[in-house]
Structure 1
Amino acid sequence: MTQHNAWANPEANTQPPSWYDEVQEDVSDRITTTANWFDGFFGQDKLDKDRASASAKLRLGYVPIERDFARFEHQFRLRARLPNLEDKWDVIVSDYNDSNESHESERVINETQGQQKKEDLTVAVRYIHSQDNRNFISTRVGFAKGADIYIRTRYRRQFSLADKLSLETEPAIYYYIAHGYGARFDFKIDYQSSETSLWRQDNSWEYIEDEEYPEWRHNLLFYHQLNNQSALISGIFAHGEIINGYKLENKGIFVRYRAQALRDWFYFEIEPFIHYPDFRDHAHTPGIALRIEINFQQQ
C-alpha cells in the first residue's frame, strides 16, 4: 500500500444523475474548457487525447475546539496541465500554502492548529524540469503572501532502503521580493507494514529571511485502508521554532476517518484531536473537525 492507495477513489457509483451530479459535471467542464482555452495560446489545437486537463478541490470544515465553537475553515485548489507546453507546465491557484502539497502530514499539522492562520490567494505557474519514479525537480513562479512575487525550486529524491522501507528527501530554495530568501528541507521515512497499512515518520525545517526564527516540524503517522471507500490516518505531531534549540509551539494526537459518500468525487472526514498549544500554556485542548471535500475533474 502507498499513501495514494489509502486515499484512492473507488469505482464510479452507478446511481442515476441528480442535481449535485449536474453541478459537479458543469464545474468540471468549465474548468477544463478554461484550461484548453488558456493552452490554446501556446500552440495549435491538439487531438482529444492530448487535451489540457484540469482538476479542482474544495474543502469545507467545522472545527470547534474547547470553548471556541465558531471555527470554520475552507480550502480551494485548482490545477491545470498544459499539453501544448509538453505537459511540463502547470497553472496552480489556491487559497492556502501548498508549497509542500505532496505531504499529507503537512496538511494534518496545519489543520490541527489551535490558531487558524489566514492564507492569501496564491497564483503560480510551475515548470517541471524532470520527473520519474525516484526524482522530481520543479520551479514555481507566482504571487503569494498578498501581492508578493516569489520563485521556488525544489528537488525530491526517493530511495528504496529495503523491500518495505523507503526514504525521501526534498530540499527547496525560494525567494520572495518582499520577504527575502528562504530554504526548506523535508525528510521522511515510510514503512509499509502490510498491504493496507503504512507508517510514516516526517520531518521538516524551514527558514525565511524576514521571519525571526526558523521553524521545525516532526510527526509520526499511521495510514490504514479500511476498504475501497474509507481509510484511517492517526498520529502524533510537534512543531515550533528554533530559538537557542527547539522551542515547542504545539504538540498533539489525532485520528482522522475519511470516507467516500454518495459519489466517487465526494468525501467526508471526522477527526477528533487533542493538542497542547503554547497560546494556551500547553494545556490539554480537545477538539473535533468535521469536513467535506468535493473534487472536480472531467472524466
Structure 2
Amino acid sequence: MRNALLLFFVVMAFVAKVNGQETEQEYPWLDSMHESIASSVNSSAMWFDDYFELKEFNHDEEATGEARIRLGWEPRSRHLNEFETRVKIRVRLPNLKNRADLVFSDYEDDRQNNDLQSSGNNEFTERNRFSLALRWRSSPESGLSHRIGVGRRLQAFVKSRYRHSHLLSEKTKLNWETSAYLYSNDGLGANFSWQLSHSVTKNSIFRWNNHFYFRDHSNDWLWQHNVQKLTQFDEKNALISGFYIEGLSRPNYRLEEYLVSLRWRKNTLRKWLFYEVEPFIMWRRDESFSASYGIALRLEGYFGHD
C-alpha cells in the first residue's frame, strides 16, 4: 500500500510539472512499467488458458489479459485517512472459443461502469472485497452471462446477469440490467438497475441512474439514484457533475446519504493513464447529516497488449 500511494503522488507531481508539455518521449520509465505489468497479465492468461487446451483444437489466437488499477486518496472533514485501491483483471480464454473469461477484482462490480458511487467509503456499497470468478456466455455478443467463483470472504457463489439496451430516439438511450446470485453464507441476492442517457450536444450528455439491490443476509433493499451531466471538452479532458442519493428499505424506506460532486478527469502522459480531481460535499445519517467537505484525488491505469 505504501509503495502504491508513493507511486500515486510521484506521478501526480510529474503531471503537475508537465503542464501541457506531454510527449511520448518523456518519462520512459512509464513505458517500462506498463510493458512489465501487461506482460505479466498476459503470461498469466496464457498459463490459465492451457488448462482448457485440446490437442485436436487448433487456433491461432493467444489468450490475453487486461488489468485496471486505480489508486485514490479521498480526504474529507472528520475523515482525512480515506484511501481507495481498486484492481480488476480480466483474462480472455480462446480455448473456450471466447465464450468464457476469468475475472479477478478486489471489489464487487455489480454497478455497470461504477456510475452510482462517487466519493467516500460507504459501508452500504460493500466494496473492496476479493472476487475470483469464471464468467461464461453462450456467445461473445450475448447479454446473458453466468459466473461461478469465490468472493465475499471466500464464499462460493453463482451468479447470472442479463444486460440490454434500447435506442429510444436519436439522442436518448436506455441501458438496463438485472441479476440474481447465491452466496454460500450470505444467501440469495438480486439487483435491477437502469440508466437513461440523453445527448444534449455532441459533447454533452445527461444521465439518470437507478439501482435497487436486494441482500438476503440483511433482508433489505439498498437503493441508489443519481443524475449526472458529462461534458467532454476534448479527447483528453472531461467534466462530470452529479447529485447522488442512497438509502435502505429497513427499518423503513429512508435516505442514508446524499452527495454532490464535480469530477474532472484527464488523460495524461500516455493514452492508458488517467487522473481525477473531484471536490465533493457529503451528508450522512450516521453523521446527523452534517456537511462533510472533501476532495478525491485518483490515478488510474489500464494495462494490456493490443
TM-score above 0.5: yes
**Whole-Å separation in 2 of the counterparts to 1:152 and 1:84:** 23
Matched to 2:120, the amino acid is T
Counterpart of 1:64 in structure 2 is 75
Do residues 39 (structure 1) and 49 (structure 2) align?
A: yes
Counterpart of 1:275 in structure 2 is 282
Counterpart of 1:103 in structure 2 is 113
Contact 2:213 2:223 in 1 (8 A): yes
Counterpart of 2:65 in structure 1 is 54
Correspondence for 2:88 among 45, 61, 77: 77
**Could you say if the C-alpha distance between residues 245 and 189 of structure 1 is closer, same or farther in structure 2, counting changes exceeding 3 Å?**
farther
**Whole-Å separation in 1 of the counterparts to 2:43 and 2:23:** 25
Q: Write out aligned runs for 1:95-174 (5 A).
A: 95-100=106-111, 102-106=112-116, 108-109=117-118, 111-113=119-121, 119-130=128-139, 132=141, 136-174=143-181
**Whole-Å separation in 1 of the counterparts to 2:140 and 2:166:** 15
**Whole-Å separation in 2 of the counterparts to 1:15 and 1:230:** 21
Counterpart of 1:28 in structure 2 is 38
The percent identity for this pair of structures is 29
Cα drift, residue 212 of structure 1 = 3.5
Cα drift, residue 140 of structure 1 = 0.9
Aligned pairs, number: 281
**Could you say if the C-alpha distance between residues 255 and 187 of structure 1 is closer, same or farther in structure 2, counting changes exceeding 3 Å?**
same
Question: In terms of mean alpha carbon deviation, does 87-96 or 62-71 score higher?
Answer: 62-71
Matched to 2:25, the amino acid is Q
Q: Write out aligned runs for 1:122-271 (5 A).
A: 122-130=131-139, 132=141, 136-243=143-250, 245-271=252-278
**Could you say if the C-alpha distance between residues 194 and 78 of structure 1 is closer, same or farther in structure 2, counting changes exceeding 3 Å?**
same
Cα drift, residue 181 of structure 1 = 0.8
Question: In terms of mean alpha carbon deviation, does 205-214 or 149-158 score higher?
Answer: 205-214
**Whole-Å separation in 1 of the counterparts to 2:27 and 2:77:** 40
Contact 1:223 1:232 in 2 (8 A): yes
**Could you say if the C-alpha distance between residues 273 and 17 of structure 1 is closer, same or farther in structure 2, counting changes exceeding 3 Å?**
closer
Counterpart of 2:12 in structure 1 is none
Question: In terms of mean alpha carbon deviation, does 142-151 or 34-43 score higher?
Answer: 34-43
**Whole-Å separation in 1 of the counterparts to 2:27 and 2:37:** 15
Question: In terms of mean alpha carbon deviation, does 188-197 or 115-124 score higher?
Answer: 115-124
Cα drift, residue 194 of structure 1 = 1.5
**Could you say if the C-alpha distance between residues 112 and 145 of structure 1 is closer, same or farther in structure 2, counting changes exceeding 3 Å?**
same
Q: Secondary structure at the match of 2:49?
A: helix
Superposed CA RMSD: 2.0
Matched to 2:74, the amino acid is V
**Whole-Å separation in 1 of the counterparts to 2:71 and 2:153:** 22
Cα drift, residue 160 of structure 1 = 1.4
Cα drift, residue 265 of structure 1 = 1.5
TM-score under structure 1 length normalisation: 0.88
Correspondence for 1:90 among 79, 101, 116: 101
Q: Secondary structure at the match of 1:103?
A: helix
Q: 1:61-86: CA deviations, max 9, x gaps?
A: 11111132222111111111111111
Question: In terms of mean alpha carbon deviation, does 235-244 or 82-91 score higher?
Answer: 235-244
Which runs of 5 or more residues in structure 2 are unaligned?
Answer: 1-21
